[in-house]
Structure 1
Amino acid sequence: MTTQLSTFKAIWLIAKREIGMIMRAKSTIISTVIIAVLIIGGLTAFKLFADRNEVSVGYVDQQIEATYFSGFLTALDDAGLEPVIETYPSLEALNKAVEEGEVDGGLIEDEQGLKVVAHENPDSAIYDAATKAQQGKSILDLSEALPGGVNDPLFKNLTEPVRVDVLNPPTEVEGSQAAVGFIVGFLLYLGIFGGGMSVAQGVVEEKSSRVVEILLASVRPWQLLTGKVMGIGIASLAQVGVYVGAGVITARVLGLATELPFDILAVGGWVLLWFFIGYIVYALIFAGLGALVSRQEDLGSVIMLPMILIIFAYMLGVTVAPNDPDSTLVAVASYIPFTSPIVMPIRSAYGVAGTGEVWIAALIGLITIPLLLALTAKIYGNGVRRSGAKIKLRDALKQS
């Protein structure tokens, strides 16, 4: 005689079993630590790389005309570089500093104009800035012969860039936004895909070992499906939470949080919400399709389509979106429940999608979940009861 458990107790017992199995596994602990370390290391490397916009320049004190020097500094600023200026008492001291690598290059002035001092090859930033400074000074000297001086139209045409009338300005994605978008996409792809695969593999394992027959004696198929998805989801959410926490704390410690054009803590919260939506959507699909086969070797043949969809969403988010975040393809994908869990948070990190758009996409995903549960529960319930050859999807849908 079998005893039917209450719905809540049945689902929670199955979920607790899945949580315990995953969280105690050495592979889970090791992978979580490794990925957290990679996130911390990646953000640290980004911080170090971002600080390399400095260029150090040495010159002999009081031997460069102010017009040359101000033009040189302006050219570096236009190139997005921050100069670190060092002064030396003599040309010999400057040459020694350049040779020993104390500065990236030196700047001197003689009767012919500016000259760059280099150890082996001249630093391109210093060379370009010095060239622009010398050309600017020469044009300024020539302006004295023009009727209008610096206000003469010819002088303005020589010194001012051409005017541009932009009809449809594109959305520009800053380097920090692109980096955060890539990390967000990677975490969501890793969590959703990994969680979905764990569900599918667990379904096949229970079916092939006949464990599912014992479980179905006490619980209904949809309860078993819900408990499994919930348990693996909670464990996966804990992992993603560790990754998000590592990223947010590291960003704040390194001072990156204050440099970003968005709230890094809010981005972390959105990542957790989108993981919840994306994981459930794909976990239900993977569970239903996994019930169609009885061997792990056959699993790849039935989950190919959802695998392609999630990989497509990831590639769209990290390759197309950074270059063209306003494209129709990216915009449409950010609302489709099978791609929005990855694409929409990336668009949000890029500052393209507003809060209202994000909530609309999230609402569409949440509405999709119960509809998908009803469909996949039927496939799962009919599929897990049959072992042996692979079951056709339409046969699993037809059975009662």
Structure 2
Amino acid sequence: MTTTPPGSSVTAVAPGADVGTLGSGAAIRLVAGRELSTRLRSKAFVWTTVALVAGVVLGGLAIHFFGGNRAAPASQVAIVSSAGDVADPLVATGKAVGVTIEPRTVADRAAGEALLRSDAVDAVIVSTSPDLEVVVKQSLDDHGQAVLGALAQQLALRSAITDLGGDPAAVAAQVSSAAPVATALEPAKKQDAGQIVAGYITGILLFLTLMTAGQLVAQGVVEEKSSRVVELLLATVRPWQLMAGKVAGIGLVGLIQMVCVVGAGVVMSLSLGLLDGSALDVGATAVWALVWFVVGFTMFALVIAGLSALVSRQEDVGSVIAPIMGLLVIPYIVGISIAPWDPTNPLVVWLSFVPFCSALVMPMRIALGSAETWEALVALAISVALIPALVWLAGRVYSGAVLHQGGRLPLREALRPHRTD
């Protein structure tokens, strides 16, 4: 009977399974199933997933209740009944300068001033003839100056037109419709706040999940080596089958976590209307994020599993997987620092097609709406085409190094043909 050290999370073979007669697919499924069940029951997985989902939910609620995209409160202006005909021009003038005006009629000046003292209104229009007379509590702000100044000019123009025998309404309509025709030589693309936020969240989430899942693979490989359990396992399964099962099992754990977090984000954004008015295609962004997690994790995990087999102690893991982790950090930094504000930057576009880097940068470009469908498919095809070579290379290194104990095994030595291949 095979036993493992207490508290160990190493892969184990189910009791009574006759793995010696199993094919490659069955052996991989057996290892992956055990890895999956062990990781899903771990407190670390449960609490990490809960924390990520809670972070998404709380972030959505914070944006909904405290977001800065709410419309500015309307300005309340009281108008004495004798000057009531100025209400429509006042609202139109405010709209022209980007200020919402809500007029209310009062019987006389005293009633308007009473409202002004109680802060119920921001200003009181007392008279429009011969001049526009306005009462304020202390002073007009810049928006008030702009609106009332433009209104005073309109009233003066209307008076002059009337004195000349013209139709003030017709002239006002013609003036309000007049606008300059501007031609931009290099028009700037309007930034969509929803797409920018989605780009950030996509990049951060993929970075965290890929980094965490990759470290789980490395720790699992070294843990099996240091406990010598791997020697028992290799009596029944081939090294590459053990490696493939471990990668598949941990990958499924990471995918389940991603689905939970991405699903929470989609539900929150749709239920709270956080993306109303945004050009973000939340469904396509979520699907592509999951697809790129699967592809990215497969690539990173294969290389990490192979490299981790070169050492036998947990403290040595960081030194062998540092180069591959750098392929996560570099595109992540470029992605969150450049892509949201300049998604067509040549560096961003180029990295979105480079294997390993594309797993982080291309999903961000998709969220930002700067990547065409054919670009995403081409980048995906390039990465997928590289996976068979990574399977062969990682399997070769893993097979040659997994039984080695002691110091770090040189990569060249691990690549030599071995009997366990």
Q: Give the structure-1-normalised TM-score.
A: 0.84
Inter-CA distance 112–274: structure 2 relative to 1 (3 Å threshold): same
Could you tell me which residue of structure 1 aligns to residue 340 of structure 2? 322
For structure 1, which segment, 277-286 or 108-117, has the greater mean C-alpha deviation from structure 2 after superposition?
A: 108-117
Could you tell me which residue of structure 2 aligns to residue 337 of structure 1? 355
Could you tell me which residue of structure 2 aligns to residue 80 of structure 1? none
Report whether the alignment pairs 1:188 with 2:209.
Answer: no
Partners of 2:346 and 2:402 in 1: how far apart?
41
Q: Show the 5 A alignment for 1:1-400.
A: 3=20, 5-48=22-65, 49-62=67-80, 65-66=86-87, 67-76=89-98, 83=100, 85=102, 87=104, 89=106, 90-98=111-119, 106-109=122-125, 117=137, 127-137=141-151, 140=154, 165-398=183-416, 400=418
Shift of 1:283: 0.8
Partners of 1:88 and 1:68 in 2: how far apart?
13
Shift of 1:113: 5.9
The secondary structure found in structure 2 opposite 1:58 is strand
8 A contact 1:58–1:85 mirrored in 2: yes
8 A contact 1:278–1:338 mirrored in 2: yes
Shift of 1:174: 0.7
Could you tell me which residue of structure 1 aligns to residue 13 of structure 2? none
Shift of 1:385: 1.6
Amino acid at match of 2:97: A
Shift of 1:107: 3.1
8 A contact 1:262–1:349 mirrored in 2: yes
Amino acid at match of 1:284: L
Partners of 1:141 and 1:57 in 2: how far apart?
20
Partners of 1:139 and 1:87 in 2: how far apart?
22
Amino acid at match of 1:385: L
Q: Deviations over 1:210-266 (max 9, x none)?
A: 111111111111111110000000111011001111111111211235533133122
For structure 1, which segment, 351-360 or 385-394, has the greater mean C-alpha deviation from structure 2 after superposition?
A: 385-394
Partners of 2:19 and 2:202 in 1: how far apart?
47
Amino acid at match of 2:295: I
Shift of 1:4: 5.3
8 A contact 1:221–1:380 mirrored in 2: yes
Q: Deviations over 1:353-379 (max 9, x none)?
A: 111111111111111111111111111
Partners of 1:68 and 1:88 in 2: how far apart?
13
Partners of 2:239 and 2:123 in 1: how far apart?
77
Partners of 1:176 and 1:248 in 2: how far apart?
12
Amino acid at match of 2:115: L
Amino acid at match of 1:107: A
8 A contact 2:247–2:298 mirrored in 1: yes
Inter-CA distance 56–378: structure 2 relative to 1 (3 Å threshold): same
RMSD: 3.2
Partners of 1:358 and 1:14 in 2: how far apart?
33
Q: Give the structure-2-normalised TM-score.
A: 0.80
The secondary structure found in structure 1 opposite 2:251 is helix
8 A contact 2:306–2:398 mirrored in 1: yes
Inter-CA distance 27–140: structure 2 relative to 1 (3 Å threshold): same
Amino acid at match of 2:122: G
Q: Figure out how many residues of one structure are paired with residues of the other and give that number.
A: 378
The secondary structure found in structure 2 opposite 1:59 is strand
Could you tell me which residue of structure 2 aligns to residue 153 of structure 1? none
Q: Deviations over 1:168-216 (max 9, x none)?
A: 4343331111111111112211221111111011111111111111111
The secondary structure found in structure 1 opposite 2:353 is coil
The secondary structure found in structure 1 opposite 2:340 is helix
Structure exhibiting the larger radius of gyration computed from Cα positions? 2
8 A contact 1:171–1:352 mirrored in 2: no
Partners of 1:221 and 1:115 in 2: how far apart?
86
Shift of 1:27: 1.5
8 A contact 2:194–2:275 mirrored in 1: no
Partners of 2:251 and 2:189 in 1: how far apart?
35
Inter-CA distance 142–268: structure 2 relative to 1 (3 Å threshold): same
Shift of 1:114: 5.6
For structure 1, which segment, 221-230 or 373-382, has the greater mean C-alpha deviation from structure 2 after superposition?
A: 373-382
Q: Which runs of 5+ in 1 are unaligned?
A: 78-82, 150-155
The secondary structure found in structure 2 opposite 1:293 is coil
Could you tell me which residue of structure 2 aligns to residue 152 of structure 1? none
Could you tell me which residue of structure 1 aligns to residue 164 of structure 2? none
